[in-house]
Amino acid sequence: MIIITKKPIGITNGKFHPCPKSPNCVSTQSTDKQHKMSPLIYNVSPEEAKSKILRIINSLKRTRIKTETENYIHVEFRTAVFRFVDDVEFYFDDSEKIIHFRSAARLGYSDMGVNRKRMENITTLFQSGN
């Protein structure tokens, strides 16, 4: 029997759960080079920044918003072929005017760079004014 456990999701005191040692996760709150990415910077209201992120998410394929609060969004992204689920989280820190994010595969070890590429794409779309 195979038991599948969902990896931890959520924010506690402004912090995501750390990325596992596997290469299938990226986070703006990680300290190691393998997992680290820069947060998104915004100079509009937090509501406008959140609205922009939601527009980007909704423009992408195979997405499902699971949780949305004032300063947090959790989204499931499914891969095209095997329908694997990646969990993507956004945390809006208005005191710093930044959006932290974490993107991680639920299963497996390697994701062939999919989570990093996804977040690079979202970063580009966010910065481009779309």
The pLDDT assigned to 2 comes to: 46
pLDDT digits (tens, 9 = 90+) for 7-32: 688 999 999 999 999 999 999 999 99
Indicate the helix (H) or strand (E) that contains 11.
Answer: strand 11-12
Residue whose entry in the numeric block shows the structure tokens 């918003």: 65
Question: Alpha helix locations (H) across the chain?
Answer: 46-59, 114-128
Structure tokens at 61: 């394929």
Domains in the chain, CATH or no CATH each = 20-128 (3.30.310.80)
User: Is the confidence at residue 80, as pLDDT, over 90?
Assistant: no
Q: What is the DSSP letter of 119?
A: H
Q: What is the mean pLDDT of residues 87-113?
A: 93
Task: Tell me how long the chain is.
Answer: 130
pLDDT category of residue 73 using cuts at 50, 70 and 90: very high
